[in-house]
Structure 1
Amino acid sequence: MEFPFDVNALFSERITVLDQNLTTGRRSLGRPDHQHHIATVIDELGKASAKAQQLAAPITSAAKLQMNRHHLYLLKDGESNGGRGVAVGFLKVGYKKLFLLDQRGAHVETEPLCVLDFYVAERLQRHGYGLELFRWMLQHKRVDPVQMAYDRPSPKFLSFLEKHFGLKDSVPQVNNFVVFDGFFRNRSAVQLRKAPPRKPEGEIKPYSLTEREALREEQKALPWPFARPAPPPPSPPHAQSSAFSRSLSVGSSPSRAPPHRSLAPSSYRGQSAHPQLIESMNCRARRTSSLNRSQISFN
């Protein structure tokens, strides 16, 4: 890919490693024009890669590279374009935390080095540039291709990996990444660990009997008027009516009749009547009974 400025002035080496600082060495420090031109080269290569992969938007740009801890390996041909050089292609890698499935289908949490974008200009493909760029990255990162994960590799890239590195038996994944057989072997516990299984979402159950009894005890312990009155024990309907009629009839024994609720104002709080109040009620009942007997004998 050609540019109107001198590519050799920006990239002194055949393969240049760029990070989030977008610097290529001491010569680019303090040069705003160099920073702008480097960003232009990265953006144009990213657009060409997205077009070749039929993506809706580029996944590689200078702005995205500045926001992430990725490395971009840029390959140039310094002899072309009248000695001003051309950009042949690039390879972008970075570490990603992934949840992958191993050969047994178990979820595994790992953070491997991933190939995020790989592009060589169409007219320069099949000239060994891609293989040169990829091998240079492997040597720089000191990693084996089988230990890496590949983000949405194109059919051409998969053929490239099979032809030059023998990677053909991939382990199926549910995300866009591809890993090959041997990825889960010979990895340290820091890089590879089992992900904890997710807890099933159960149904919301009502309170159990024990929990309801505890709530009742808490309500009883609350001071009045926050405590709820305890419901009276159920009684047969006929017994209530007969007792009520006997208590209103003349000559009935008040001691047998059940005490009226109005005579024990504290009973609705779950407490018993005071002993002195009960005694006064019994004395009044005895006086009433003796008065009735005296009136009957007089008549």
Structure 2
Amino acid sequence: MEFPFDLNALLPERISVLDHNLTAGRKSLGRPDPQRQISTVIDELGKASAKAQQLAAPITSAPKLQSNRHHLYLLKEGESNGGRGVAVGFLKVGYKKLFLLDQQGAHVEIEPLCVLDFFVTENLQRHGYGLELFSYMLQHKRVEPVRMAYDRPSPKFLSFLEKHYGLKDSVPQVNNFVVFDGFFRDRSAVQHRKPVPRKVEGEIKPYSLTERDVVREEQKALPWPFARPARPPLSPPLSLPSQYSRSLSVDSSPSRGPPRPCPGPGAYRSQTPHSQYLENVTCRAKRTSSLNRSQISFN
């Protein structure tokens, strides 16, 4: 990919390693700020990579590289374009925390080095540039291809890994990352998390009367102020017996019996207030009736 500026002056090395600072080591030929031109190279290569992979939007750009701790390996061919050089391709890698499944189906929380984007311009493919770029990254990171995770690799990239590194048998995952057989070899046991067994659902029992009685007894045993006192029993309504109601009227009935003597003071100790009240009323009625008779006989 050609650009109107000099790539040899902007990127002095054949393969430049760029990070979030968007600088390729030393400043180029006295230019104080080459970041704008480097950003242009990264953005254009990112658009070409997204088009080749039929993606809706680029996954590699200068702003994204500045906001993440990723490394981008940019390969140039310095003799082309009249000695100004051309951009051949790039490889972006970075560490990501992933939740993967091993061969036994156990969950593994791990943060491996991942290949996030890989692209070589179409007119320069099958010339060994991709292998040169990938081999340089492996030496720079000191990592084996089988120990890396690959984010949504294209069919061409999968063929590339099988041809040059023998990576063929992959371990199925539920996300977009691909790992190959041998990725989980010699992994720390601390990183493995066993799947949580499901609880066996027992028979659902109805809320029996015995359980309700137990709940009532527990509520009775609760300490104050949580215990609820029982309600007092309702007292029967006050009513006067018919025989006392008839005795209140003097000479109201010809068939009344002989008057009973009034009880003494000590007799009220074993009576209720209500019965005492009725006895007092009866005694007063009897005394009044006797007084009226004596007055009639005297006259």
The answer on 1:180 being equivalent to 2:198 is: no
TM-superposed CA distance for 1:25, in Å, is: 1.7
Distance 1:60 1:234, change over 3 A: farther
TM-superposed CA distance for 1:31, in Å, is: 3.9
Match of 2:239 among 242, 245, 248: 248
> What code does the residue aligned with 1:193 have?
H
Please state whether the residue corresponding to 1:221 is helix, strand or coil.
Answer: coil
1:268-290 Cα distance to aligned partner (Å, 9 max, x none): xxxxxxxxxxx99x764353132
Match of 1:232 in 2: 231
TM-superposed CA distance for 1:170, in Å, is: 0.3
| 8 Å contact from structure 2 (residues 146, 179) kept in 1 | yes
> What code does the residue aligned with 2:114 have?
C
TM-superposed CA distance for 1:231, in Å, is: 6.3
Distance 1:214 1:42, change over 3 A: farther
Distance 1:145 1:221, change over 3 A: same
**How far apart, CA to CA, are the structure 1 residues paired with 2:158 and 2:105?**
23
> What code does the residue aligned with 2:173 have?
Q
TM-superposed CA distance for 1:249, in Å, is: 2.5
TM-superposed CA distance for 1:32, in Å, is: 5.1
TM-superposed CA distance for 1:28, in Å, is: 4.6
Match of 2:147 in 1: 147
Please state whether the residue corresponding to 2:23 is helix, strand or coil.
Answer: coil
| 8 Å contact from structure 1 (residues 2, 85) kept in 2 | yes
Please state whether the residue corresponding to 1:131 is helix, strand or coil.
Answer: helix
**How far apart, CA to CA, are the structure 1 residues paired with 2:59 and 2:215?**
56
> What code does the residue aligned with 2:39 have?
A
How many residue pairs align between the two structures?
A: 254
**How far apart, CA to CA, are the structure 2 residues paired with 1:252 and 1:139?**
120
CA RMSD between the two structures: 3.5
Match of 1:85 in 2: 85
**How far apart, CA to CA, are the structure 1 residues paired with 2:68 and 2:123?**
30
Give the alignment's TM-score, normalised by structure 1: 0.74
TM-superposed CA distance for 1:292, in Å, is: 3.9
The answer on 1:121 being equivalent to 2:121 is: yes
| 8 Å contact from structure 2 (residues 9, 29) kept in 1 | no
> What code does the residue aligned with 1:290 have?
E
Distance 1:196 1:30, change over 3 A: farther
1:91-240 correspondence runs (5 A): 91-189=91-189, 192-194=191-193, 197=196, 217=222, 221=225, 232=231
Please state whether the residue corresponding to 1:23 is helix, strand or coil.
Answer: coil
Match of 2:71 in 1: 71
The answer on 1:288 being equivalent to 2:277 is: yes
**How far apart, CA to CA, are the structure 2 residues paired with 1:175 and 1:186?**
23
| 8 Å contact from structure 1 (residues 53, 154) kept in 2 | yes
TM-superposed CA distance for 1:39, in Å, is: 0.5
TM-superposed CA distance for 1:215, in Å, is: 11
Match of 1:10 in 2: 10
Distance 1:17 1:230, change over 3 A: same
Distance 1:214 1:138, change over 3 A: farther
TM-superposed CA distance for 1:187, in Å, is: 2.3
| 8 Å contact from structure 2 (residues 106, 192) kept in 1 | no
| 8 Å contact from structure 1 (residues 15, 76) kept in 2 | yes
Q: Structure 2: which 5+ residue stretches go unaligned?
A: 202-210, 245-267, 290-299
Give the alignment's TM-score, normalised by structure 2: 0.74
Deviates more, 1:114-123 or 1:283-292: 283-292
The answer on 1:49 being equivalent to 2:49 is: yes
Match of 2:295 in 1: none
Distance 1:252 1:188, change over 3 A: farther
